[in-house]
């Protein structure tokens, strides 16, 4: 494992690290033998080049399963591979044929189920992923095929998982060769069932493991000639007897003592036990309990395990009496007696424990006391009885305790072996050795010495088998092989066990001399082994000694070696217990031979253990060994922690790294000649064609490829590391070239074939296409000619028809006008009668006509005012044009205008209305022009002479009218004057355009002279351009004035026969808005809650007009208060639509609240809704507001559109109407104080709100829509959750029904059973009643059916989840009768769905598919005949394999006693589940309840394509209020 020499700058290497053992890095500099490495954690390390190892940067991310496949076989590479696999929970890894198992410290059940066993059954080692089952399978196959016994050696330190690995091995061997044993239990079951008993009496908590085996166990599993298990035997080695009397903190004594102290109260009272803290043998350590272990439960489990292994109740009682007696025995203390070197019972407490011990052992208390403090010495002359001092009496007490416990443990093992049964005719065995691992603590005593001696023996066996067998293989093949040195530990074994002169021999010798002490023993060791290279004497100790084991140096304390090695069979103890009245105790101490019955006989534990170990090694040598090295990843005994130093040390102790080095230093790849030629013959085809011997052919192939270092034996080819991969790479290259040649030829053939076919098809297609194109062109030419002819005739017909229509209309109109003039003249002659008639009709119609005349008067007034302003502006422009000032005056004027425009621009930017100013000015000018026109109309009353001529012009310009209409001459004259005025305006605007152009030219000349004003003049030029655009748009608007004047004239005629009514009405107040009152000065007419018509200059408005503005704000606030107060009440429904939602929408739309930048009406509405739904349990209120919120939100969805790119052109934002009159009518609708005109507006717009005209919403409106959406979702969730809460207890009763039904149903009482069944089905009926009640409430409140469907869909999903999960989690629910019960309940729900109709239920019934299919599966008959395909595809296609598996395994038929599905189906399910877990598919079989909101506003909108705002009857609170008159008029 020396470092390679080909390390260069940039190479990735491993360097030693004091924390992580090894750390990866990159070489940055090489200076001779010194190397500098930048590690992965950012540090720079300087070290010797001989101490670094290359890192494999191309290693698989998941590691390799056999570490002999590693590119670089060294400590860091092995460590990294193990760490990588451990992170992925891959705890098993091969090293050749050695299995390394790292303890995961967590349960991994998917690794050890039956399906996993089947996978490894018959598979070769390495074919599948590393596993303990693979090693067991290899051992079993070798035993079957070769007829030779095998053994599996499981080794590792305490806590590495040896015991668990042994259990898995036995489970797998029983799976392969199990057969039914006595009483229906297999041998494997009996062996495994004995584990709890052996663990209770042979395991204890140590520093490194909470359940450490303190004895060695070799399980012999015996097989018959057919490979079936025929028997088993458990051999135990060296129980740690000293632990009974001596323990150190934080360890514990054997588990059984603590289990007995946690026994039921009757047992504790019977044995007079208490807390473990009160017993000397247990309170030497402060650890009394284990984390996650309940001693009381474990006690009962141990008693059950004893029942299983055949220990009857009397024997169990006797066993625990002995255990209790040992505890009491430890509390017997002694004090000095009256005589020298004598002792007596110390106090009454000790006397009590003495009596309890005698009572439990069924012997005499005085005899027990004598056996503890007296010794009988037999001499030829006499028998001498002497007393022991307190120290020796305590030693006698402890010796009795250890002897009792040791005999008890041996009896348990023997009883278990008898219970299991052994096969004397067995020819083959598989032995599983589970023995303690190498131990090195801070304080190491005789127990560690024996344990490490055992591991030295096993390590030698490992070396001999793995390492030496490797060399024997090469020798057998007669190849050149250089023997590689490896550490042999025979010298350590000689140091320990050699006779005479070994440590054990010297210890036995010291024990036989009464005057020997631990100091004399240590000195003897120092003298004997002072020159031994494996024995070290510590400098600062007189009794310690150090042995250099294969795994490192261990220092032992010889203080208690002599005491622990002595195994006296005290004659007094023997006689005492033999005379016991308890047959069980007597059986533990059979009578001794006569010659030894009078004295104590010395026995050495060390010598006895050496004999046992020798027997074990002979057994192992007679078998074919297999090795499993268990590794403990950390000392904290926690998962997911990988301590590198700890792992490295254990790998060294196990010889794993040495095995890797030996294997890869030789020839790890071996192939027979046939296999080699069969695989690599393609590398040299000429060799296969020639008639060569197999060996020669292999030689030629290897020589051709230039490989060096390989060997060819008698029957195999031996390749060095990497040569196999090189040959495979060259083989893949040859096969790849051949494949490419074949592919090239095939592709050529296919391409040519496709080309020929494509060329033929294209020619044919071109031919057809050209013909089709020619036909199509010809047809098109014909159609064009025909179209021209049709158009010509149609246009001629249309023109003539229009001419005739106009002609007829003109004649008809002239006739009507002449008749009307004659009648008027006749009417004037009858003044008195006409006056009376007019007065009567006028008074009758006064109330109705006042409203219309007021509105028309405002229109005429505004037109007149706009004319007046236009003339005033025209005069100013003419005066400016006539001025003959110098060019400087023009410049100053332009600069002043630029400054004014700049100031205006800044003001507009601050108020975010800079782009709307031009439009507001335009509208104001038009209003002024209109006002001026009205003034001219009034002046035209005196122009009677020109009425006839004006009337003729009006007739010519008016559209054709079929119906006779009386025309007033005065009105026609006004219209004509307005037309003339418009023409004058056109000329004025043209002159204004010319003036602007001249000013622009003058400005350009001045710009060259004054560079400082360049930026300002540039801005002025842009502004002038905007003015030009405004003028052009105004001209376009004036071009439509003729048609609009016709509408004006018709409205004026409809109001009054004379124009006096217009002048008699008061003029509308025109108020300038300012930033102080919420609107922009000179800006667009706002749609705020208090907006009114604006004019461009606030200085023209008198100060007295501020009072009306204030009163308008207060009026609008009152209107909002009334609206909020009104919607706080239950307004009910109108035409199936919620009145509150329609009222809110109409008011907001009428007030144009959606188009304002700032308002609080939305917040007040939201607060009102929020306060109304605070009572969460009132479903009537919740459904009422759910209906209102959904309707209002849908109206907003159809009406509002977000302000987008169109906001950059405020001149085009008003409406889709381009006419002047259309915009004027909109301006009138802008103010809530102009509600008097709403009737006129509705007449002019022909539909109004009912058409849901879209408006561009501002931020408050969009925010209101979002808040309303949130409230809709909240109310929906509250209703849904309320429904779930109501049915949850009812569902709970349905789920508990199986348990209650068994209590209520009585056999033989059909009437009572019928009543009970009716009571059970009543739960389902209650659920149906609850759901139906909710449906009625929602229908009564006109909740949209879409939302109703969603509520019930989620509710049914909730029912499905609750019932289905209870089915999987409760075994009583997974029965046949419960399936019938749930099926009856589901029928009730299905009937309700049918009655409720699909409009309100939708697909809610489909949400019950899981429970429906599961119940259907429960109630079907002949389940064992169903195949997995039928179940998954036909019966339960929705259920997952995990769910089906759980139902199948939990099912039980409490009615007919039928069985579940067949075992084959269950096995198939397991296979699929394992594959799913390997594919990272979720294995959760429970369903989740979906509590999300399952819809969006768009979903609701799509379900309600057509929506109308019905006319509602205004509530009494607002019916008489003038601010809500528009509601009354619309309802009319």
Residue 1113's CB: how many other CB atoms inside 10 A?
Answer: 14
Q: Which residues are bridge partners to 237 per DSSP?
A: 216
Between the CA of residue 929 and those of 231, 861, 867, 917, 940, what are the distances in Å?
121, 10, 2, 18, 16
Query: What is the rounded CA–CA span in Å between residue 1170 and residue 1271?
Result: 8
Strands (E), 476-540: 535-536
Q: Which residues are bridge partners to 569 per DSSP?
A: 601
**Residue 19, phi then psi, degrees to nearest 5:** -100, -50
Which value, in Å, is the radius of gyration of the alpha carbons in the chain? 55
From the list 68, 155, 158, 1139, the catalytic residue is 158
Is 1248 among the residues known to form the active site? no
From the list 81, 84, 150, 212, the catalytic residue is 212
Nearest Cα to Cα of residue 936 among 1059, 803, 1066:
1059
| Residue found under tokens 């026109």 | 933
On the question of a cis peptide bond just before residue 761, with omega within 30 degrees of 0, the verdict is no
Is 213 among the residues known to form the active site? yes
**Residue 1006 contacts residue 1014 (beta carbons within 8 Å):** no
Is 155 among the residues known to form the active site? no
1281, containing H or E segment: helix 1259-1304
From the list 159, 177, 655, 1059, the catalytic residue is 159
Is 748 among the residues known to form the active site? no
1434, containing H or E segment: none
Contacts of 366 (CB under 8 A, 6+ apart): none
From the list 166, 209, 426, 1159, the catalytic residue is 209
From the list 11, 81, 103, 213, the catalytic residue is 213
**Residue 165 contacts residue 101 (beta carbons within 8 Å):** yes
Structure tokens at 387: 């007393």
**Residue 222 contacts residue 429 (beta carbons within 8 Å):** yes
**Residue 524 contacts residue 561 (beta carbons within 8 Å):** no
Look at the chain and count its residues: 1532
3-state secondary structure of 1517: helix
Structure tokens at 932: 């001026």
3-state secondary structure of 1129: coil
**Residue 502 contacts residue 524 (beta carbons within 8 Å):** no
From the list 68, 103, 163, 1183, the catalytic residue is 163
| Residue found under tokens 């009763």 | 1293
Is 339 among the residues known to form the active site? no
Helices (H), 110-232: 114-120, 132-146, 162-177, 187-202
Contacts of 589 (CB under 8 A, 6+ apart): 407, 573, 574, 577, 578
Helix axis angle, 656-665 relative to 644-653, nearest 10°? Answer: 70
Query: What is the rounded CA–CA span in Å between residue 577 and residue 579?
Result: 5
From the list 439, 470, 1006, 1286, the catalytic residue is 439
Is 437 among the residues known to form the active site? yes
Between the CA of residue 950 and those of 117, 929, 947, what are the distances in Å?
113, 21, 5
Using a CB cutoff of 8 Å and minimum separation of 24, what contacts does 16-19 make? 16/47, 16/51
Query: What is the rounded CA–CA span in Å between residue 1029 and residue 461?
Result: 107
Structure tokens at 31: 């200076």
Structure tokens at 966: 């009386």
Q: Which residues are bridge partners to 428 per DSSP?
A: 223
Residue 1385 Rama label (left phi>0; alpha psi -120 to 50; beta): alpha
From the list 437, 655, 1059, 1402, the catalytic residue is 437
**Residue 223, phi then psi, degrees to nearest 5:** -125, 150
CA dihedral 117, 119, 120, 121 (to 10 degrees): 80
Query: What is the rounded CA–CA span in Å between residue 1257 and residue 1149?
Result: 11
Query: What is the rounded CA–CA span in Å between residue 577 and residue 363?
Result: 7
Contacts of 222 (CB under 8 A, 6+ apart): 229, 230, 231, 232, 233, 422, 423, 426, 428, 429
Positions annotated as catalytic residues are 158-159, 163, 209, 212-213, 437, 439
């Amino acid at each position: 494992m020396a470092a390679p020499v080909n390390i260069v700058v940039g190479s990735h290497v491993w360097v030693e690290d004091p924390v992580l053992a090894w750390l990866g890095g990159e070489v940055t500099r090489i200076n001779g033998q010194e190397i500098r490495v930048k590690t992965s954690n950012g540090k720079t390390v300087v070290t010797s080049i001989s101490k670094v190892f290359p890192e494999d940067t191309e290693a698989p991310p998941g590691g390799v399963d056999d570490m002999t496949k590693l590119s670089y076989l060294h400590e860091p590479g092995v460590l990294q591979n193990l760490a990588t696999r451990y992170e992925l929970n891959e705890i098993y890894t091969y090293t050749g044929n050695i299995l390394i198992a790292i303890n995961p410290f967590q349960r991994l059940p998917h690794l050890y189920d039956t399906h996993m066993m089947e996978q490894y059954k018959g598979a070769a080692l390495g074919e599948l992923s590393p596993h303990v089952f693979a090693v067991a399978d290899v051992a079993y196959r070798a035993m079957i095929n070769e007829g030779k016994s095998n053994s599996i050696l499981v080794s590792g330190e305490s806590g590495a998982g040896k015991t668990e690995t042994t259990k898995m091995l036995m489970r797998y061997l029983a799976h392969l060769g199990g057969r039914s044993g006595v009483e229906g239990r297999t041998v494997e079951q009996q062996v495994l069932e004995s584990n709890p008993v052996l663990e209770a009496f042979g395991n204890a908590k140590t520093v490194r493991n909470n359940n450490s085996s303190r004895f060695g166990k070799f399980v012999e599993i015996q097989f018959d000639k057919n490979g079936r298990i025929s028997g088993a035997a458990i051999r135990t080695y060296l129980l740690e007897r000293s632990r009974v009397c001596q323990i150190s903190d934080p360890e514990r004594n054997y588990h059984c003592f603590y289990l007995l102290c946690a026994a039921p109260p009757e047992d504790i009272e019977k044995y007079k036990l208490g807390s473990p803290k009160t017993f000397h043998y247990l309170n030497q350590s402060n650890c009394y309990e284990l984390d996650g272990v309940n001693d009381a439960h474990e006690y009962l489990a141990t008693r059950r395990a004893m029942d299983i292994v055949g220990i009857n109740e009397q024997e169990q009682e006797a066993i625990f009496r002995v255990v209790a007696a040992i505890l009491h025995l430890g509390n017997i203390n002694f004090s000095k007696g009256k005589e020298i070197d004598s002792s007596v019972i110390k106090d009454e407490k000790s006397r009590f424990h003495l009596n309890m011990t005698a009572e439990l052992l069924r012997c005499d208390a005085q005899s027990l006391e004598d056996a503890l403090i007296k010794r009988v010495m037999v001499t030829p002359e006499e028998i001498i009885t002497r007393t022991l001092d307190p120290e020796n009496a305590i030693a006698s007490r402890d010796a009795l305790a250890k002897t009792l416990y040791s005999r008890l443990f041996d009896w348990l093992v023997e009883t278990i072996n008898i219970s299991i049964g052994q096969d004397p005719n067995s020819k083959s065995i598989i032995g599983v050795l589970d023995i303690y691992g190498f131990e090195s603590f801070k304080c190491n005593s005789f127990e560690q010495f024996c344990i490490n001696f055992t591991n030295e023996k096993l390590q030698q066996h490992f070396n001999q088998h793995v390492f030496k067998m490797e060399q024997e293989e090469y020798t057998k093949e007669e190849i050149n092989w250089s023997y590689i040195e490896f550490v042999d530990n025979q010298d350590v074994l000689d140091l320990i066990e050699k006779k005479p002169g070994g440590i054990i021999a010297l210890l036995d010798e010291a024990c036989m001399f009464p005057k020997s002490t631990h100091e004399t023993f240590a000195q003897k060791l120092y003298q004997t082994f002072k020159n031994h290279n494996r024995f070290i004497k510590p400098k600062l100790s007189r009794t310690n000694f150090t042995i250099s084991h294969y795994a490192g140096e261990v220092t032992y304390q010889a203080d208690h070696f002599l005491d622990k090695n002595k195994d006296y069979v005290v004659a007094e103890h023997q006689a005492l217990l033999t005379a016991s009245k308890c047959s069980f105790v007597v059986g533990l101490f059979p009578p001794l031979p006569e010659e030894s019955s009078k004295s104590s006989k010395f026995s050495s534990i060390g010598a006895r253990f050496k004999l046992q170990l020798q027997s074990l090694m002979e057994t192992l040598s007679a078998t074919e060994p297999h090795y499993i090295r268990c590794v403990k990843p950390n000392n904290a005994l926690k998962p997911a922690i990988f301590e590198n130093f700890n792992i490295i040390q254990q790998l060294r102790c196990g010889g794993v790294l040495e095995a890797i080095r030996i294997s890869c230093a030789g020839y790890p790849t071996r192939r027979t000649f046939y296999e080699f030629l069969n695989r690599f013959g393609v590398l040299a085809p000429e060799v296969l064609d020639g008639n060569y011997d197999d060996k020669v052919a292999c030689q030629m192939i290897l020589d051709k490829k230039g490989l060096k270092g390989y060997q060819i034996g008698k029957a195999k080819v031996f390749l060095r590391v990497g040569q196999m991969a090189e040959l495979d790479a060259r083989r893949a290259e040859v096969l790849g070239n051949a494949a490419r040649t074949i592919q090239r030829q095939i592709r050529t053939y296919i391409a040519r074939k496709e080309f020929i076919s494509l060329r033929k098809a294209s020619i044919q297609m071109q031919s057809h296409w050209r013909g089709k194109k020619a036909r199509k062109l010809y047809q098109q030419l014909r159609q064009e000619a025909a179209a021209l002819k049709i158009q010509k005739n149609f246009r001629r017909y249309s023109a003539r028809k229009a001419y005739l229509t106009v002609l007829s209309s003109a004649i008809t109109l002239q006739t009507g006008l002449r008749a009307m003039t004659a009648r008027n003249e006749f009417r004037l002659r009858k003044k008195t009668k006409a006056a009376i008639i007019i007065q009567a009709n006028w008074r009758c119609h006064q109330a109705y006509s006042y409203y219309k005349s007021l509105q028309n008067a405002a229109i005429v007034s505004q037109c007149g005012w706009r004319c007046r302003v236009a003339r005033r502006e025209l005069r100013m422009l003419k005066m400016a044009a006539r001025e003959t000032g110098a060019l400087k005056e023009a410049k100053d004027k332009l600069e002043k205008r630029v400054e004014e425009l700049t100031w205006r621009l800044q003001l507009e930017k601050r108020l975010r209305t800079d782009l709307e100013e031009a439009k507001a000015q335009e509208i104001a000018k038009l209003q002024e022009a209109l006002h001026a026109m009205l003034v001219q109309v009034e002046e035209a009353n005196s122009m009677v002479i020109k009425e006839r001529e004006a009337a003729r012009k009006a007739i010519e310009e008016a559209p054709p009218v079929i119906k006779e209409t009386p025309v007033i001459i005065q009105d026609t004259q006004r219209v004509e004057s307005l037309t003339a005025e418009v023409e004058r305006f056109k000329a004025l605007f043209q002159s204004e355009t010319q003036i602007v152009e001249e000013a622009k030219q003058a400005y350009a000349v001045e710009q060259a002279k004054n560079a400082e004003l360049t930026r300002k003049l540039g801005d002025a030029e842009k502004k002038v351009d905007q003015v030009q655009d405004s003028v052009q748009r105004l001209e376009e608007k004036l071009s439509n004035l003729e048609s609009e004047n016709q509408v004006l004239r018709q409205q004026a005629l409809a109001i009054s026969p004379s124009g006096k009514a217009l002048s008699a009405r008061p003029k509308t107040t025109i108020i300038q808005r300012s930033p102080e009152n919420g609107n922009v000065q000179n800006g667009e007419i706002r749609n705020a809650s208090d907006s009114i018509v604006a004019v461009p200059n606030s200085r023209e408005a008198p100060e007295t007009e501020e009072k009306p503005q204030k009163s308008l704000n207060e009026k609008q606030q009152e209107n909002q208060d009334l609206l909020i107060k009104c919607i706080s009440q239950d307004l009910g429904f109108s035409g199936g639509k919620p009145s509150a939602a329609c009222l809110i929408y109409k008011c907001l739309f009428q007030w144009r609240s959606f188009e304002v930048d700032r308002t609080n009406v939305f917040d007040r509405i939201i607060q009102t809704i929020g306060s109304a739904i605070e009572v969460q349990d009132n479903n009537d209120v919740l459904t009422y507001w759910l209906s209102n919120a959904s309707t209002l939100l849908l109206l907003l969805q159809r009406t509002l559109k977000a302000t987008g790119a169109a906001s950059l052109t405020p001149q085009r934002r008003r409406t889709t109407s381009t006419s002047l009159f259309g915009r004027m009518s909109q301006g009138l609708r802008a103010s809530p104080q102009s509600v008097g005109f709403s009737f006129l507006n509705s007449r002019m717009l022909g539909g109004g709100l009912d058409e849901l005209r879209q408006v561009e919403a501002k931020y408050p409106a969009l925010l209101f829509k979002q808040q309303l959406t949130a409230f809709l979702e909240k109310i929906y969730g509250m209703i849904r959750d309320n429904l779930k809460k109501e049915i949850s207890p009812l569902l709970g009763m349905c789920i508990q029904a199986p348990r209650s039904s068994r209590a209520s149903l009585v056999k033989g009482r059909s009437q009572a059973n019928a009543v009970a069944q009716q009571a059970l089905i009543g739960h389902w009926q209650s659920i149906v009643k609850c759901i139906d009640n909710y449906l009625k409430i929602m229908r009564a409140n006109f909740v949209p059916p879409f939302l109703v469907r969603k509520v019930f869909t989620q509710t049914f999903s909730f029912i499905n989840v609750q019932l289905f999960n209870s089915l999987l989690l409760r075994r009583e629910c997974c029965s046949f009768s419960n399936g019938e019960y749930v099926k009856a309940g589901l029928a009730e729900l299905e009937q309700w769905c049918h009655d409720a109709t699909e409009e309100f239920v939708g697909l809610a019934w489909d949400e019950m598919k899981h429970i429906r299919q599961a119940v259907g599966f429960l109630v079907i008959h002949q389940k064992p005949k169903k195949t997995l395909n039928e179940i998954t595809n036909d019966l339960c296609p929705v259920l997952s394999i995990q769910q089906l598996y759980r139902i199948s395994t939990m099912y039980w038929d409490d009615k007919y006693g039928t069985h579940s599905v067949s075992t084959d189906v269950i096995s198939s399910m397991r296979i699929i589940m394992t594959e799913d877990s390997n594919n990272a598919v979720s294995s959760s079989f429970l369903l989740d309840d979906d509590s999300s909101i399952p819809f969006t506003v768009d979903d609701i909108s799509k379900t309600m394509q057509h929506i109308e705002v019905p006319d509602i009857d205004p509530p009494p609170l607002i019916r008489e209020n003038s601010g809500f008159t528009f509601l009354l008029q619309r309802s009319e």
